[in-house]
């Protein structure tokens, strides 16, 4: 990390401080491409394409990416970045605008959702105080569909090439081609593996894995959230239980950042319906192969229920 | 800062604008978000008003607003906020914010001009609808009329450090700090501020922010008539609710925030600790070194579930009320306890109990106030700061 300033003291006369600040800012040395990734999956994808980039990862799999605070550390990280790689489609609307406003310096913004078709779009839908989190553009959790990840990778490679020196661009193209080839092979294998799951019903909390379900042909028949983004309430869970009893789903699926108690309760009440806690994304410091390992893990957890 | 300094600030700002226009490169892809519109409604029922409080007895329309914000071309961002509130039975309208800010100055510099909330302290810059308590701390109510927004200029720099470090200067007209200035007080930009904020994460679970601000106020409050009757009633006419009750030439403000979220997942659970302290000196031409206003606020809020929060706050105020050529001591303590239900992030229902003690030279301290507040947001209501 660039650490060019001494610890702060009581402000001296303003002009002196301002002058010091100007010097610090202008005397910034040339450095490696610095990327601010809003979510760990985009950090991993950046590592696939540009392993030399310096990365700041704003969130981790244990956090709800809708509810990140515009923490001072994140402002400093965005301030240092040349490129911000985020999901878009409203996922970061509660915190990224504030970071951008406070950073005093705007990196380029790459929004992955611009490069794929979104599911569950609600054209014209407006958020009201009673509607929960409305994403009119569609479900923003696109990274759980490996086919869409492939499309994002192509867009990101183009963006990275535009920012890197000419000498480094061919390497990015080569890494993209290798990733695409490898990933297409894996997608075919995952689809074969998941074939027995097609058509199975699942109860899920939030639309976090909506793309995964759509890709694998799983049917999300119930949402533990009464409204999108609203924490499960006892009344709503009771209703779900009543409606699901006749035909219990194959699993209750929640994400690693969600409180497991509501899901655990529902799975317990629906005797024999297992609770799956799926990791929302890869680790923040995930090396490139971990994207595939994460997807392998998701498939493994889901397949464990397919025999039921 | 002197008036010439404010002028040189303006000149500097103009130079910077020209500089950035010259340096600006076309972005690879437009990064400006679209214009956003939002509204906030605040309804509060108060059992009995607090001394120096911002809420009337009974049902009141609190600080409710309509906001529009968005880009103006590639180099500027603008925001406008119109507010309505009822005060003593009357509907009051106002323009709370109307500003332009640069987005592409080099070196992390930002220049803002127009009407906006000063960045002093922790709470002043936050929109009141995002507060954790129904009333602002005594510190803000006594020294800034609850929320100090003013017409002026701001120049900030976010330094390229691995931790967050912002240094900024502002110049304001200062009408809200001193509604009625003594003859000879400067017009124009009579108040200047200097602030710095520092912050970082300790690890995944702990984050902190520290701020230090200084206000230099060259507007001196008009003196009370020498033949006054002693007693708080005499001031009521001069000091309207919206302005500051106590002012002075120099203010130091220290603020600290500590947040802890188990596992870093602040959505589920979070503890927020906040501390602010202010000291104002140079009260007027008769003030001696020992004459000063002081106030502090200490708060703790615990989100124990995604939709529920409980919090306590302790406020303390000691001030010197000018009476001609001498001063009277003012003292007040306040404790607040609140429980909030936030079923979605667009709604909050808050129940609060506050009690004032040790009141000295303060009119109508409350021995117990219950408040029920409902805050509702429509549309985009902007991201909240830390």
pLDDT in tens, B257-273: 999 999 999 999 999 99
How many other β-carbons are positioned within 10 Å of the β-carbon of residue B86?
18
B265, B343, B386 member nearest A62 (Cβ): B265
A5, A14, A162 member nearest B161 (Cβ): A5
Chain A residue numbers with beta carbons less than 8 Å from the beta carbon of B167 are 11, 17-18, 21
Task: Please tell me if residue A9 touches chain B, with a CB cutoff of 8 Å.
Answer: no
Contact (CB, 8 A) for B347 and B375: yes
Chain B residue numbers with beta carbons less than 8 Å from the beta carbon of A26 are 106-107
In the predicted structure, residue A166 carries a pLDDT above the cut 70: yes
Interface contact A72-B164, CB threshold 8 A: yes
What is the number of alpha carbons within 13 Å of residue B228 lying toward its C-beta?
21
Residue A267, classed as helix, strand or coil, is: helix
B2 falls in which pLDDT band (50, 70, 90)?
A: very low
Interface contact B383-A259, CB threshold 8 A: no
Task: Please tell me if residue B119 touches chain A, with a CB cutoff of 8 Å.
Answer: no
Interface contact A3-B161, CB threshold 8 A: yes
Domains of chain A: residue spans and CATH: 31-189 (3.40.50.1980), 196-303 (3.40.50.1980)
B159, B201, B267 member nearest A21 (Cβ): B159
Nearest Cα residue to A4 out of A35, A26, A32, A34: A26
Give B 310-339 residues with CB within 8 A of chain A: none
Mean model confidence pLDDT for chain B: 86
Mean model confidence pLDDT for chain A: 89
Between chain A and chain B, the number of residue pairs with CB atoms below 8 A apart is 196
Classify residue A65 by its DSSP letter.
G
Domains of chain B: residue spans and CATH: 105-372 (2.40.160)
Q: Is A203 exposed, middle or buried (0-12, 13-18, 19+ CB in 10 A)?
A: buried
pTM: 0.87
Strongest mean pLDDT among A154-158, A225-229, B241-245: A154-158
Which residue did the predictor score with more confidence, B373 or B1? B373
B209, B345, B378 member nearest A72 (Cβ): B209
Instruction: Write out pLDDT tens, residues A127-144.
Output: 777 777 888 889 999 999
Give B 59-88 residues with CB within 8 A of chain A: 77
Residue B217, classed as helix, strand or coil, is: strand
Instruction: Write out pLDDT tens, residues B12-25.
Output: 444 444 444 433 33
Nearest Cα residue to A41 out of A114, A145, A116: A145
Q: How many Å apart are CA B324 and CA B318, to the nearest integer?
A: 19
Nearest CA in chain A to B198: A72
Would you state the pLDDT for residue B367? 94
* Phi, psi for A268 (deg, rounded to 5): -65, -40
The lowest-confidence range among A87-91, A165-169, B64-68, B173-177 is B173-177
The minimum CA-CA distance between B91 and chain A, rounded to whole Å, is 24
Give B 177-216 residues with CB within 8 A of chain A: 194, 196-201, 204, 207-209, 212, 214
Q: What percentage of chain B exceeds 70 in pLDDT?
A: 85
Interface contact A69-B343, CB threshold 8 A: no
The minimum CA-CA distance between A68 and chain B, rounded to whole Å, is 7
Q: Specify the residue for token string 């390992």.
A: A293
B88 falls in which pLDDT band (50, 70, 90)?
A: confident
Instruction: Please compute the mean of the pLDDT values over residues A226-251 and round it to a whole number.
Output: 94
């Amino acid at each position: 990390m660039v650490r060019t300033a001494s610890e702060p003291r009581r402000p001296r006369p303003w002009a002196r401080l301002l002058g010091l600040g100007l010097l610090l800012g202008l005397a910034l040395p040339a450095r490696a491409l610095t990327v601010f990734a809003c979510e760990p999956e985009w950090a991993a994808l950046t590592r696939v394409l540009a392993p030399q980039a310096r990365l700041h990862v704003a969130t981790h799999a244990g956090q709800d990416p809708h509810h990140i605070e515009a923490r001072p550390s994140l402002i400093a990280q965005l301030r240092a970045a040349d490129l911000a790689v985020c999901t878009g489609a409203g996922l970061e609307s509660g915190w990224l605008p504030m970071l951008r406003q406070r950073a005093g310096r705007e990196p380029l913004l790459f929004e992955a959702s611009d490069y794929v078709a979104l599911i569950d779009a609600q054209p014209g839908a407006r958020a009201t105080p009673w509607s929960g989190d409305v994403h009119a553009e569609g479900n923003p959790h696109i990274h759980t569909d490996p086919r869409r990840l492939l499309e994002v990778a192509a867009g990101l490679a183009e963006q990275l090439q535009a920012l890197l020196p000419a000498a480094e661009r061919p390497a990015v193209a080569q890494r993209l081609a290798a990733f695409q080839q490898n990933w297409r092979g894996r997608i075919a294998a995952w689809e074969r593996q998941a074939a027995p799951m097609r058509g199975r019903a699942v109860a899920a909390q939030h639309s976090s894995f909506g793309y995964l379900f759509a890709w694998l042909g799983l049917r999300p028949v119930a949402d533990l959230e009464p409204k999108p983004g609203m924490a499960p309430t006892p009344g709503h869970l009771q209703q779900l239980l009543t409606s699901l009893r006749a035909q219990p789903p194959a699993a209750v699926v929640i994400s690693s950042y969600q409180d497991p108690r509501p899901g655990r309760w529902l799975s317990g009440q629906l005797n024999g319906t297992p609770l799956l806690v799926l990791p929302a994304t890869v680790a923040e410091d995930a090396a490139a192969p971990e994207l595939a390992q994460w997807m392998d893990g998701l498939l493994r957890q889901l397949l464990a229920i397919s025999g039921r | 800062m002197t008036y010439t300094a404010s002028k040189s600030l303006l000149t500097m700002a103009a130079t910077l604008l020209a500089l950035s226009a010259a340096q600006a490169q076309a972005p690879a892809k437009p990064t400006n978000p679209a214009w956003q519109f939002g509204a906030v409604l605040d309804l509060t029922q108060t059992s009995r008003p607090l001394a120096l409080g911002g809420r009337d007895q009974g049902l009141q329309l609190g600080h409710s607003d309509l906001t529009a914000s968005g880009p103006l071309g590639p180099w500027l961002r603008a925001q406008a906020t119109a507010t309505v509130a009822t005060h003593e039975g009357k509907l009051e309208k106002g323009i709370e914010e109307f500003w332009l800010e640069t987005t592409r100055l080099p070196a992390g510099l930002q220049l803002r001009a127009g009407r906006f909330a000063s960045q002093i302290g922790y709470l002043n810059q936050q929109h009141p609808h995002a507060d954790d308590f129904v009333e602002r701390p005594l510190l803000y109510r006594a020294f800034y009329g609850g929320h100090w927004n003013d017409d002026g200029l701001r120049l900030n720099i976010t330094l390229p450090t691995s931790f967050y470090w912002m240094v900024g200067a502002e110049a304001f007209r200062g009408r809200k700090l001193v509604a009625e200035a003594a003859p000879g007080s400067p017009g124009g930009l009579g108040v200047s501020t200097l602030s710095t904020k520092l912050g970082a994460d300790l690890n995944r679970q702990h984050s902190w922010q520290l701020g230090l601000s200084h206000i230099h106020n060259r507007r001196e409050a008009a003196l009370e008539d020498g033949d006054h009757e002693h007693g708080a009633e005499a001031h009521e006419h001069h000091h309207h609710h919206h302005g500051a009750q106590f002012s002075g030439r120099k203010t130091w403000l220290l603020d600290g925030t500590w947040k802890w979220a188990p596992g870093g997942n602040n959505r589920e659970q979070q503890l927020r600790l906040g501390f602010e302290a202010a000291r104002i000196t140079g009260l007027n031409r008769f003030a001696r070194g020992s004459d000063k206003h002081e106030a502090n606020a200490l708060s703790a809020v615990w989100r124990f579930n995604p939709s529920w929060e409980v919090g306590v706050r302790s406020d303390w105020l000691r001030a010197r009320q000018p009476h001609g050529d001498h001063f009277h001591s003012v003292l007040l303590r306040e404790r607040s306890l609140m429980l909030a239900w936030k079923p979605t992030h667009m709604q909050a229902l808050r129940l609060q109990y506050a009690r004032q003690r040790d009141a000295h030279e303060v009119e109508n301290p409350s021995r117990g106030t219950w408040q029920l507040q409902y805050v509702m947001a429509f549309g985009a209501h902007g991201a909240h700061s830390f």
